[in-house]
Each structure stands twice: as structure tokens, then as C-alpha cells.
Chains A and B, each alone.
Chain A
Amino acid sequence: MSAPHIPILRQGKVFQSLDVQTVNQLGTEDPAAEISFACADMIKYDLHKMGEAREALKSFSGSELVEITQKAGELFLHGDLPIGTEGELQSPEDYVMSLAATSGLPHSLIRFNMTRLGGLFGQIDDIFKGLSRGLSWDVLDKGYGEQGGAPVSFSATTNELAVILPSNSPAVNALWIPSIAMKVPVLLKPGREEPWTPWRIIQAFIKAGAPAEAFSLYPTQHDGSGAIIRRAGRVMLFGDDSTVKQYENDERVEVHGTGYSKFVIGEDEIENWEQYVDSMVESVSANSGRSCICTSTIVVPKYGDEIAHAVSKRLAEIKPLAQDDPEAKLSGFANPKFAEWINEAVEDGLESSGATDITAQYRDGERFMERDGMNYLQPTIVRVDSFDEDLALREFLFPFASVVECPQSEVLEKTGYSLVMTAVTKDVDWINQLFDHPEIERLNIGNVPTNRISWNQPHEGNLFDFLYTRRSFAFAESA
């Protein structure tokens, strides 16, 4: 299909800007999309009107919105949905091709993420129960009710959930999808190279019967993002440690930062390490290593060299392939400079005598590679002598992990924050210590890859708690 125009959506209304930017297909001069850009002040103006969008959603019952969400999931996966401003339709296959053209993601990974996202819509009921600890939708419809025999009332903290989306990970759209059933409109700022997924999800929702007013989409520049972050009632964004630090005291802003996820083997299980190589490989490389739930550090009490070599051998099989190769698991970089910067950071860390790139012995060619006009970084396992090495606790946007030996008794002290920790152990005392540790967001006990999560248990922030606050209440007898 020809390059569509992705307009601004202002509470569902299509708006074509005079500020139009062309996003080319990666590695070519051929346009993939023309995108309307919104100015910051337009977004500020529209934010004042988001109460109307929320009213539109509130006119639906929770059960109606659950049904709409489930139907939207089917449409997202299988439907022909509007794209652009000329009445064109986008098939699921068109979506895959468009996203591949601008993001560098292999078709196989896009389809994987698509299936994962599509599945989430269908689980909306379970997700809400998980997030709200079993609340009935009726409570949101009425504003009050009972939960576990106790009276409860919840009010929305905001008229909109704003999300500053990245360009490199379509799966993060999963984070906002439940907001619609929870009757909170969304205001999305897509990544420049990835307007496709939020657009398609929105169209699926609208075709399924959701009110168009509940969806605002603003491609915008840095100042527009700033306006959203400063003005919206609730904001989700993605960033590094400095971004997390910047907003740590702002209850409106939830930053999804670096995951520092870890795969740890206990002293009681280390002799069986060969049984866990599959899990470690999946944990490091799933979704091309781009998720914050991918393992970036493997911690073991001994056999560090052997494990580093075993995982390296397997990861070296993951190579840059043609985007449409069904076996492709490695993503190219939409911004080619990113690959160069990341590679430089890894090389800087490897200048230390305490850090060795084990994968270099097994892979074909250098870590940094070009193929079909795109830049790739091949998987990399670095064996480090201690946690003092620069690369011991680093996370990059490609399959990368360090392997470090550490006595079990020091693991919690040395590893710091972990979005996900898989601990392969049966040592009950240690398991209890792990459960008691506040810096582990999601804990898997046993041989579970870190990238496997469940939507009804939030691993980073709880959307319901973010969007609703509990109040106490009473009705006088005369009421």
C-alpha cells in the first residue's frame, strides 16, 4: 500500500496538520508514512477538554466496555481497519509490513508481539480483577459498592492517561489498553517511527464500538511531549535512570525505566546449570533483547565461565537475517546511530581487563553489523570478574547480558534493583529472603524465563491504582 497520512486524533476527530513529516522506509528514501505533527499549545488546549472524553466513556457500563475491548482484540488481530485519511484500509499483513518498514523489527517478532497484544484484550476481565484485587466492574459504574464484604468507593485520579510511547517496542501498548475498560480516555504520543500500533489499536477499539472521543493521538516534537508530561493528570513514559529520578516525587508520572532483570541460580541448583541454559538464552534474547524484562545479568555462585560459553554458543546462532525470514529474531535499529552508540558503550566497558566478550569466539563477524541498509548488534555475553565492572549491571537495547559469580549470601546486596528476578533454587530460607526484598518487582522462583509475565499481576506499577483512588464514604439514612 502507498504511504498513508497518519493524522492527529483530537478526541477521535481527525486533524491534518500543516506540519507534516515523512518517515521513510528504513535504509531507503521511499516514504512509509506522512505524519501530522501537533504543536504543544494545541495539546494544552485539548487537555482542558478531556473531561468530555471521559464523560463519553462513562456512558458505557463496565461490562459493555469489557465486551468492546474483547471485540477490539479480535479486530486488531484479524480485521481490516482504517488507516490514513483517504478511507484506506489496513489488513493485519499491511500492519506487519508498515511496522517492519519503519522500526527495523523482523516480521516474526512483530507477529509475536501482535499475538501477545491481541491476547491481552481478551483477558481484560482477568486483568482488571488482578489489578483491583477482585473488584466488580459495577463499582466503577456506580462509583461505590462492596469488595470482600467491605464498602468501597473509587474515584478517577484523572480525565486522561497520557502515554509517551517509544519507537522500538510495540508491546508496550499493552500498558494502556485496559485504561479504556476502566473508563479513562487515553492521550498517546507515538514514537516517530512507530505510529502504527497505537493507531491500529485505536481503530480496533472504535470499530468495536468504543466512543472515538476516548482516543487522542498526538505525534509531536519534544516541546509537545513536555506539555503532555507537565499537564496531563496521569502520565506513563519510558526512560533511563535519570528520567526515573526526575519524576520520582511526582505521583502523576509513572516512568518505566531500565529493568536490570536478572537470572540467578542458587547454590543448591548450580550443579544442574546445564538444564537452565534454554531459559537463560530465552531470557536474554526474547523480543530481540529490547524489553526491560529481558535478563541483563546472570548471577551464579560458580561455573561462570562454563555458563557464559554455553549461553554464548546458543546466542551466536541468532544472526541478522532478512526481515521477512521466519527465523529472524534480531531487530535492526530504526535510528542507526543508536547501534553505534550502544556498541561504543560496550566496547568502553570491555577495555577493562575484568570484562571479556565471550560471544566474540562464536559469532560470525563483529558485534556491529550492517545488513539491508540497517544497523544490527549481534548478541553479546560478557563474563565479568565482579559487580565492580562497568558492564556488570548494564542494560542495552539488544540481546546482552553479563555473567558474574557471586556467593549466594551476597546476591541481594550486590544486585540492587531488579524489575524481574528469576531465582532457580529450592532453598526455602533464601526464597523467603528474596520475597522479603523490596527491590525485586517480580520474582520467579524456579526455571522461568524472566520475559514471561502475567498481565493480571502488574510487574511495574498498577494501572488501577494509578488511575483510581479509594475514598471513604457514607450514605445518611435519608439519602
Chain B
Amino acid sequence: MTADEAKAQLDERVREMMAWHFSEETGCPFWLDWMAEAGWDPREEVKSYEDIVKFPHFQDEWLRDEKNERFVPNAYKGRPFNVFETGGTTGLPKQRVGWDDYKHDYEQFSEQLSDEFFPKGGNWIMVGPTGPRRLRLAVEHLANVRGGSCYHVDLDPRWVKRLIKRKELDQVERYQAHVMAQAVEIIKHRDISCIFTTPRLLASIGERISISDHGIKGCFCGGTSMTPEYVRFLQEEVLENKAQFVPTYGNTLMGLAVSIPSELPQKDYSVTYYAPQPRAVLRIVDADKTEVTKDYGEYGRVELTTLTHEFFMPRFLERDEAIRREPHEKYPWDGVGDVRPFGALTKKVIEGVY
């Protein structure tokens, strides 16, 4: 696919989603009411991705304050939905409803994985936040799609965040050791080829056992920002350059933005992520003037637009910033590089807790 073809595909997707989410037959109450109040019809005015800026920024508080049923498209009415939670340490968390999106996202992701490092039929282990998170089902689905089964070890990040806020760092270490002990036992005693976990947990497992010597060939990682030095450390020292490290950037609201692991050493381990276009689009914007896209090579705030039949989310400002990177021949659209917490250089952010 060329860059022009990718752009045409995205614009077509935008028009399709406007027609879907803003018609009575298929749209959800939340967006239909929004259109009535806004006084303009996105089906008429939003004809390409550039027109998305006509929408205001999606506020994730709406996912907490609105009833979930208001986000159910009329086309899905009567069909029970999955509830996936995001963020939050106290109070009612933000929730996203869904049906098959996670399957589509992870099937698409599966096609990007190398069969050499993520062998078909191999079993997986997921070490990280399970519970009400999309990842729990998604990673298992990924394993199943590739012909394997998935073991799980849970970690509750909300509890870890509370411990960190209370400066109970000893408790954090003890809790992490508790999680690690479970993970290590499974890795030692079951046939596992692939792992999903977070960078910190991966390093923590690697402190206890040689991950590659225990049969793991591929590691799909997500969850927190990573400096190039940390990516190198994980690939060269934790995985001993024997297993492949596949960093991803994603969340419950987007799906998975992928990187190109084979190119990491040549790029000095600076990771660039490409959104799963046209289902989701990432744009690097000027934090003070968000309708302006930053130039290539510049840091800006990450803006996410999700365009699936199940969920429409325009211009959500992520709590991250990243460098706008040039399209890649494999993914001919903008990438986002060296993601870090928004304002990381000016304020203290509790991030990368697990």
C-alpha cells in the first residue's frame, strides 16, 4: 500500500463511520444526542480525516459519567456487551463497552508477529493487569488465534499505584515478588513459547530466571513508556538477544499500535509505533493549539481517534507525548516515537508502576 492509498482508505473509513454513528439505525444514543445538541450533521461536514478537527476533544470522563448503554450502537441493541475498564485507582472507573473489536485488533496484530519468535501452536503466558481489562481477553484470543493456550498471572496496578502514592515502596517490592513467584513457577513448569507482560515485569522475571533458556522465544510488551536505553536493556540483557522483544503502544480505547522489532538495533532502539489504521489514528499535536499537527521530528501530545463500528472516539488527548515520525513502507502513515508521559520533563508522573 502506498501513502496515498492509505490516506484514501482512511478517508473512506471516516465517511463510513460518520454514516454509521450518526444515523438512527446504527448510531448510539450518546452520539445521536450529541449531534442534535451540536446543531450540525457530521455526515455532511466530515468527509475526510482532516475534517475530524470539527469535533471537540473526546473527554474520557464521559466513559465514567455516562451510562454504558448510551454508547451501545443501535445496530448492536439487545446484544450483551463486554465491559472493559481503564485507569482509575478509586471511585467508579472509566469503562468502554465492546463486542468483537478486541478480536479484530489482535487478529490484525497477530499478522504482524514473526512465526519464528512467536511460533504457531505455542502457548502463551500473560503477566500483568487482567481483571476487568480488555487485555485479559485480548491476549488469550491472540494465543488462541495462533493455535496456543494462555496462562495468566494477575497484577492489580491500582493497588500498586496506591502503594506508591503512600510511599510504601517495600510493599510494592513484596507485591511484585508475589506476582513474580507465580509467573516464574508457571514458566518453569509449563511449555510456554510467548509472553505478554509489561517492561518492568519482564525485567523482574529476568532477574529470577533466564527467560530464553526456559523456552520463551517472543515477548510482546506494552503498558508504559520506554527509553531507547531501556528497550536495549530488555532486548540485549533481559532477553539475552535470544528472544524477540516486540514493544507496542495501546490501550482499551485504541487497540494496538505496533513497532518494527527487527529494525530496533539500527534505530538505536528508538521505538516508533504505527496505529492500526484505519481503525484508529494517532496524531501528534501542538499541546497548546491541538488543531495544529506538529512537524516530523518534533515532540507533541498524542491525539487518538478511534473509528470502529463499535466505538467512535474523536480526538482523545492521551496522557502521553511523542515524536511525530515519518511513514514507513510497511505502515505508510505517521508514526509516533519515543513515547513518554505528557509533561514528563516538567512534572512528576506516577508511571510504569508494574
Contacts of B206 in A (CB 8 A): 45
A-B contact pairs, 22 of them (CB 8 A): A18-B228, A18-B229, A18-B268, A18-B269, A19-B227, A19-B228, A19-B229, A39-B229, A39-B230, A41-B200, A41-B203, A41-B204, A41-B207, A41-B233, A41-B238, A42-B233, A44-B203, A45-B207, A45-B237, A45-B238, A230-B169, A230-B170
Contacts of A116 in B (CB 8 A): none
**A240 CB, nearest partner CB in chain B, Å:** 16
Task: Verify if B65 is at the interface (C-beta below 8 Å from A).
Answer: no
Task: Verify if B25 is at the interface (C-beta below 8 Å from A).
Answer: no
Shortest 3 CB-CB contacts between residues of A and residues of B? A19-B229, A41-B203, A18-B229
**B244 CB, nearest partner CB in chain A, Å:** 19
Task: Verify if B173 is at the interface (C-beta below 8 Å from A).
Answer: yes
Partner of A41, one of B173, B228, B230: B230
Task: Verify if A151 is at the interface (C-beta below 8 Å from B).
Answer: no
Partner of B229, one of A17, A44, A45, A48: A17
Total CB contacts across the A-B interface at under 8 A = 36
Contacts of B141 in A (CB 8 A): none
Query: What sequence of 0s and 1s flags, for each residue 206-248 of chain B, a beta carbon within 8 Å of any chain A beta carbon?
Result: 1100000000000000000001111011000110000000000
Tell me the complex Cα distance, A39–B170, Å: 19
Task: Verify if A199 is at the interface (C-beta below 8 Å from B).
Answer: no
Tell me the complex Cα distance, A18–B229, Å: 5
A residues with CB within 8 A of B: 17-19, 37, 39, 41-42, 44-45, 48, 226, 230
Closest B residue to A39 by CB, please name it.
B230
Tell me the complex Cα distance, A24–B299, Å: 23
Partner of A37, one of B173, B200, B229, B237: B229
Contacts of A41 in B (CB 8 A): 200, 203-204, 207, 230, 233, 238
**B189 CB, nearest partner CB in chain A, Å:** 23
**B208 CB, nearest partner CB in chain A, Å:** 10
Q: Is B232 a contact partner of A18 (Cβ separation < 8 A)?
A: yes
**A166 CB, nearest partner CB in chain B, Å:** 21
**B256 CB, nearest partner CB in chain A, Å:** 24
Q: Is A48 a contact partner of B207 (Cβ separation < 8 A)?
A: yes
Q: Is A39 a contact partner of B169 (Cβ separation < 8 A)?
A: no
With A18-B269, A41-B203 as given contacts, are A226 and B169 in contact (CB-CB < 8 Å)? yes
Contacts of B233 in A (CB 8 A): 39, 41-42
Contacts of B269 in A (CB 8 A): 18
User: Apart from A39-B233, A45-B206, what 20 extra A-B contacts exist at CB < 8 Å?
Assistant: A17-B229, A18-B227, A18-B229, A19-B227, A19-B228, A19-B229, A37-B229, A41-B203, A41-B204, A41-B207, A41-B238, A42-B233, A42-B237, A44-B207, A45-B203, A45-B207, A45-B237, A48-B207, A226-B169, A230-B173
Contacts of A48 in B (CB 8 A): 207
Tell me the complex Cα distance, A45–B233, Å: 10
